[in-house]
Amino acid sequence: MDFSNKTNKELYEIAKNEKYRMKDRYAAARELQKRREKGDK
């Protein structure tokens, strides 16, 4: 799953939704963290 084109809200919803695989939830959380470190909003 490519998370680079998802919005922060979509990534947050994926990360906290138990219906997604843990691998995808973790990847979404990492993408959010990466964006926060870069200063993206």
Per-residue pLDDT of the chain (41 residues), as tens digits, is: 899 999 999 999 999 999 999 999 999 999 999 999 988 65
Is residue 30 in some structural domain? yes
Instruction: Report if residue 14 sits inside a domain.
Output: yes
pTM for the model stands at: 0.84
Task: Give domain status of residue 3, yes or no.
Answer: no
In a domain, 15, yes or no: yes
Number of folded domains that form the chain: 1
Phi first, then psi: what are they for 3, rounded to 5°? -100, -5
Which residue range(s) make up the domain with 23?
Answer: 8-38
The values of phi and psi at residue 22, to 5°, are: -60, -35
Closest CA to 10 of 32, 34, 37, 40: 32
Distances (CA, A) of 41 to 1, 5, 8, 22, 26: 21, 13, 8, 24, 19
* Structure-block tokens of residue 40: 């993206």
User: Looking at residue 28, what is its pLDDT?
Assistant: 97
Q: Kindly state whether residue 1 falls inside one of the protein's structural domains.
A: no
